[in-house]
Structure 1
Amino acid sequence: MKTKKLDKVHPAVVCGTDFTPAAGHAADTAAALARRMSCPLDLVHASALPSYSPTLAQLSAEADRLRQQGADVRESIVEGNADEELVKLAKPKSCRMVVVSSLGKRAPQRWLLGSVSERTAERALVPTLVV
């Protein structure tokens, strides 16, 4: 499931979300940075299991909350592993930076697999801020 296509012409701050409170704090930080840099905020939710994915309504509600803070938000739901999808979006010509939360829904699994934030920061070609 995909929302509108993200604009590659205007480099954006990319923020991954899993709708946890920690992700909300990261999104607040990303919105503030995007406003400060006068660029869009691409709010992205990735799920390897789309049937378990939060709904488009949840993403739209989070985007609306960030718009109330003055951010120019573009939202997208992509199918795949969060870190892999964020790294794909984090291309220097289309992305200024990536913002992710340090904790997510899969926190217990991080002991075995590492965290999404770690893997994203290791592989992204643009600066990555872990909140």
Structure 2
Amino acid sequence: MYERILIPTDGSECADSAVDHAIDIATQYDAELHVLSVVDTRDMSHSAPAISPQQVEQTLRERAESVVESVAERAADAGVEAVTAVEPGVPDDVVVEYAADHDCDLVVMGTHGRTGLQRYLLGSVTERTVRRSSVPVLTVRGTDD
């Protein structure tokens, strides 16, 4: 049923809960796991004047690479083949495009249950991904939700 499962992650506790589910599903279906972290290019404009946008991007990229490698190691420990990627852009755009470009059958991602006016006005990466994805999206609440 599933051959390629995408797990977008930012290294947060909620995303970590989704990783457990994605690895379990990949194990059950002998599926390849695609581990993606997005360097949000919108974050570059909010840096302090003393820090160049290139420095900010490099720091964010290094953190993202560390996160995807950590997830890939967890997958390998479970006997799951993992492909890692770090991509720049707007997170929900990149997730939707990556899933389509790599023929992923399922996206598994965390949600932190944002509420109130902020959620209404801004939405979340997960909500926008669910609305736009052409494949099923399994959302997983974090342990603190």
CA distance in 2, matches of 1:25, 1:83: 19
Q: Which residue of 2 aligns with 1:112?
A: 121
CA distance in 2, matches of 1:82, 1:16: 9
Structure 1 residues without counterparts, runs of 5 or longer: 1-9
The counterpart of 2:28, out of the listed 36, 57, 63, is 36
Q: Which residue of 2 aligns with 1:7?
A: none
CA distance in 1, matches of 2:97, 2:85: 13
TM-score, with length taken from structure 2: 0.73
Q: How much has 1:112 moved relative to structure 2?
A: 3.3
C-alpha RMSD over aligned residues: 2.4
Q: Which residue of 2 aligns with 1:66?
A: 75
Structure 2 residues without counterparts, runs of 5 or longer: 42-56, 141-145
Q: Which residue of 2 aligns with 1:86?
A: 95
The counterpart of 1:17, out of the listed 9, 23, 45, is 9
One-letter identity of the residue aligned with 2:98: L
Distance 1:62 1:93, change over 3 A: closer
The structure whose residues are more often helix, as a share, is: 2
One-letter identity of the residue aligned with 2:123: G
Deviation track 1:69-88 (CA, whole Å, cap 9, x = no partner) reads: 22211110000111111100
CA distance in 2, matches of 1:95, 1:29: 16
Aligned length: 120
Q: How much has 1:55 moved relative to structure 2?
A: 4.3
Deviation track 1:1-55 (CA, whole Å, cap 9, x = no partner) reads: xxxxxxxxx9410010000111111011111111212110000000223345224
CA distance in 2, matches of 1:92, 1:47: 18
What fraction of aligned residue pairs are identical, expressed as a percent? 28
8 A contact 1:22–1:101 mirrored in 2: yes
